[in-house]
């Protein structure tokens, strides 16, 4: 069974606004201003909560940054969970593209480094959770991407075959996950780094979800 596995943040949905807002809420509670910019720091947002906190504390010139990150990270997740879909939007054509795969008897799943509970909550709010046969988050298994185990588990839970699967993502983490699993990767170009992802040498690039079915068919033919 042909299978397509999607990353979430920066791939299916632009979640950067709510992620950055959660990080800035932490800095505001500490008496600082908004340390991250909604536009300029999108790429850091897609690298995760710890990356955003690290950037903010670095800009403040603070010592013991890792300890401060450890202290603030649970608060960031709490704020994010309470405000998970204020700014987040699906990328244009994403839902229709997934539906076209389902109509063609593909298996589809999500493999993300977002905590599983948050990922499920977000996809439910976006109205797409029931479309996916499996969802693996950062805390579902003892390891996370770029270890290939979460990807393999996602394919298997979705009812697919790793040998006939492809990963859709947006970062070097997704590229390395696909390489480790021995499957092709497709990197989207509508994220904050644009077509610079071509430098990661994926098997294909995706400029718009309208093109997804043709790209995947070509790779799995």
Beta strands 165-169 and 13-14, pairing class: unpaired
The tokens describing 130, both together, are 């029931």
Q: List the catalytic residue out of 7, 14, 18, 170.
A: 7
Question: SS3 string of the chain?
Answer: CCEEEECCECCCEECHHHHHHHHHHHHHHCCCCCCCCCCCCHHHHHCCHHHHHHHHHHHHCCCCHHHHHHHHHHHHHHHHHHCCCCCCEECCCHHHHHHHHHHCCCEEEEECCCCHHHHHHHHHHCCCHHHCCCEECCCCCCCCCCCCHHHHHHHHHHCCCHHHEEEEECCHHHHHHHHHHCCCEEEECCCCCHHHHHHHCCCEEECCHHHHHHHHHHHHC
7 noted as active-site residue: yes
Structure tokens at 154: 């996602």
Residue (of 84, 78, 19, 18) closest to 45 by Cα position: 19
> Hey, which residues are catalytic here?
7
């Amino acid at each position: 069974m042909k299978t397509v596995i999607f990353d979430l943040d920066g791939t299916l949905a632009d979640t950067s606004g709510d992620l950055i807002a959660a990080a800035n809420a932490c800095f505001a509670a500490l008496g600082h201003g908004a340390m991250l910019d909604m536009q300029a720091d999108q790429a850091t947002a897609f690298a995760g909560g710890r990356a955003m906190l690290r950037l903010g504390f670095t800009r403040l010139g603070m010592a013991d940054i890792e300890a401060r990150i450890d202290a603030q990270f649970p608060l960031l997740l709490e704020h994010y969970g309470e405000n998970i879909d204020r700014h987040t939007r699906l990328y244009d054509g994403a839902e229709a593209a997934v539906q076209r795969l389902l109509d063609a008897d593909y298996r589809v799943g999500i493999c993300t480094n977002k905590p599983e509970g948050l990922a499920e909550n977000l996809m439910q709010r976006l109205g797409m959770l029931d479309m996916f046969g499996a969802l693996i988050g950062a805390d579902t298994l003892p390891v996370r991407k770029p270890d290939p185990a979460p990807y393999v588990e996602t394919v298997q839970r979705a009812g697919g075959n790793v040998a006939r699967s492809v990963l859709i993502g947006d970062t070097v983490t997704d590229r390395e996950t696909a390489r480790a699993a021995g499957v092709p990767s497709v990197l989207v170009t509508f994220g904050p780094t644009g077509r610079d992802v071509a430098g990661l040498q994926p098997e294909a690039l995706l400029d718009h979800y309208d093109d997804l079915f043709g790209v995947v068919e070509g790779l799995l033919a």
